[in-house]
Structure 1
Amino acid sequence: MPASLSGTWDIISSVNLEGYMKVFISPSLRKIALKLKLGKVIEHQGDQFIIKTTSILRNYTVSFRVGQEFEEFTGGLDNRHSLVKWEGNKLVCEQIGEKKNRGWAHWIEDDKLHLELYCEGEVCKQV
């Protein structure tokens, strides 16, 4: 069984966030987004997850069951359906929509939450 992802997490490092955002966010919104300090709260019971990403500007909550496709509401950014599954110790999401090869993976390493975001060849890694 993978380690529990539940908890409250603050981002301490981020690599290539701007490159990742270039795929789907305008330059003016990217400038704002790059200055935000993000936090994450993950609640997990069985196959049910609630992931809340927080900032002073905007909060985003996604709720899903592992193995069941769901529609994400992204506030006008894009339209997509997602499927989350366990791949070893990683919680992996495939996002199907307007952008190709898009998704993310969360896992615990050295008592830190890792997140890899990818879309159309751009990859952002956060701890």
Structure 2
Amino acid sequence: MPPNLTGYYRFVSQENMDNYLRALDINVVLRKLVCLLKPDKEIIHTGDHMVIRTITSLRDYVMDFDLGVQFEEDLGPVDGRKCQTTVSWEGDQLVCEQLGEKRNRGWRHWLEGDQLHLRMTAEDEVCVQVFQKVK
């Protein structure tokens, strides 16, 4: 049975965010701003339904979805694109595949103790963020 990711997580660290954003064709000014942000994550996981909120001082981004069901995701707040998104479990990792203009786009979340890890990919770039569970 996969883990329940419900909780509130504070930002700890990130690696390679600028190159990841460059792969998404984000302009240099917005890339620099995003690299300064220290987002929090709030996850509500109820059965096969999940809500993942990424909370920043600039804006929040909310994903509200059912596991295993493809939906159109509006990534307007991120990079102005829409894609067909499916989120499902692969073992203990929550895996998101985002089909659209960018190759190899998606992410995966997993827990290591009280830390939530996020690995985001776009084209050939990988960004890793780590969050600490606080409640």
Fold agreement, TM-score > 0.5: yes
Sequence identity, in percent? 46
**Aligned residue number for residue 54 of structure 2:** 53
Once the two structures are overlaid, the 10-residue window that deviates more, 1-10 or 62-71, is: 1-10
Q: For 2:40 and 2:13, how far apart are their aligned partners in 1?
A: 12
Q: Structure 1 unaligned runs (5+)?
A: none
1:91 aligns with 2:94: yes
1:7-56: CA deviation from partner (whole Å, max 9, x where unpaired): 11111010111111111211111011111120110001000000000101
Q: Structure 2 unaligned runs (5+)?
A: 131-135
Q: For 1:39 and 1:2, how far apart are their aligned partners in 2?
A: 22
Q: For 1:84 and 1:57, how far apart are their aligned partners in 2?
A: 25
Q: For 1:77 and 1:35, how far apart are their aligned partners in 2?
A: 20
1:32 aligns with 2:33: yes
Equivalent residue pairs, number:
127
Runs of 4+ with deviation above 4 angstroms: none
Q: For 2:38 and 2:94, how far apart are their aligned partners in 1?
A: 23
**Aligned residue number for residue 133 of structure 2:** none
Q: CA deviation at 1:80?
A: 0.5
Give the TM-score normalised by the residue count of structure 1: 0.96
1:115 aligns with 2:121: no
